[in-house]
Structure 1
Amino acid sequence: MKEFVLIMGALYGMLSVVFGAFGAHALKKKFTAEQLTSFETGVKYQMYHAILLVILGLTLPMVNSIEHFAAIFIIVGIFLFSFSIYGLCITSSNGKKLKILGPITPLGGLCLVIGWILLIVIFASYGFYL
């Protein structure tokens, strides 16, 4: 599981750099200011959580189910949150907005929040109290 978390963190990190460059250069002329801001939000959240996955993969033993679930919620949350934003922005700029992606974004955000809550539980169980 550690290897999977590390690979997903590295993959999401790499993709956030690619999508960030794509947004800053290729899409800058095609997107409205609002679409560009939304796209950048997806890229930022993807990178923040990619870094988190790498840190978790390097520091947590990943030997129990709560650690696995925290990582899985973060991995799924990144995909649902950021990639739905990318899809909404791209389809909207083409005049054919995929409205079905709209409800997916908050589900991704919820997955990320659950991942963070599980991390609080994990850290508290290791004696890292607030």
Structure 2
Amino acid sequence: MSQFALVGACLYGLLGVLLGAFGAHALADRLSPEMQSIWHTAVQYQFFHVAALLAVGLLARQAGAGGALLVAGVSFAAGTLVFSGSLYVLALTGIRWLGAITPLGGVLLIVGWIALLAAVVRR
């Protein structure tokens, strides 16, 4: 679990920098203000959960991966992919039904935080 979470955090961090820069520079004149805001939200939440994945990875490395840390790591990784990913695609395409997928990613992120809390309290 520690390796999964730490590698995931590094990859999401790398992509966050690239996608943030892409949005700020290459897409600045191509997206409406509303779609720029959606892009920005996707980048922000991606970075918030880079930190969460780093915490999961470091805790797992220090104390061993328990069930709650496993749930947290998988939930953060999948939730970030679904939440931020759906927002990136929405901003680029304008396909509004993608907004219905975003809350599923949000639920996974919430599950991740609950699981991380459980892991921390149990230790």
Secondary structure at 1:28 match in 2: coil
Instruction: Tell me, in whole angstroms, the C-alpha distance in 1 between the residues paired with 2:78 and 2:108.
Output: 7
Instruction: Tell me, in whole angstroms, the C-alpha distance in 2 between the residues paired with 1:86 and 1:53.
Output: 20
Gap runs ≥5 in structure 2: none
* TM-score, normalised via structure 1 length: 0.88
Instruction: Tell me, in whole angstroms, the C-alpha distance in 2 between the residues paired with 1:120 and 1:73.
Output: 13
Instruction: Tell me, in whole angstroms, the C-alpha distance in 1 between the residues paired with 2:74 and 2:44.
Output: 19
* TM-score, normalised via structure 2 length: 0.93
Which portions of structure 1, spanning 4 or more consecutive aligned residues, are displaced by more than 6 angstroms? none
Q: Which has the higher helix share?
A: 2
Identity value in percent: 38
Instruction: Tell me, in whole angstroms, the C-alpha distance in 1 between the residues paired with 2:96 and 2:41.
Output: 18
1:13 corresponding residue in structure 2: 13
1:54 corresponding residue in structure 2: 54
The higher-RCO structure (CA 8 Å, 6+ apart) is 2
Alignment of 1:28-67 (within 5 A): 28-60=28-60, 61-67=63-69
Alignment of 1:63-102 (within 5 A): 63-92=65-94, 97=95, 99=97, 101-102=98-99
Instruction: Tell me, in whole angstroms, the C-alpha distance in 2 between the residues paired with 1:62 and 1:28.
Output: 44
Shift of 1:55: 2.3
Shift of 1:18: 0.3
Q: What CA deviation, in whole Å up to 9, does each residue of 1:35-77 have, x standing for no partner? A: 1011000001001101221122112334222210111001000
Secondary structure at 2:22 match in 1: helix
Aligned length: 121
Instruction: Tell me, in whole angstroms, the C-alpha distance in 2 between the residues paired with 1:62 and 1:115.
Output: 17
CA RMSD, Structure 1 to Structure 2 (Å): 1.2
Gap runs ≥5 in structure 1: none
For residue 117 of structure 2, the aligned residue among 102, 120, 124 is 120
Q: CA 1:23/1:31 → structure 2, altered by over 3 Å: closer, same or farther? A: same
Shift of 1:102: 1.9
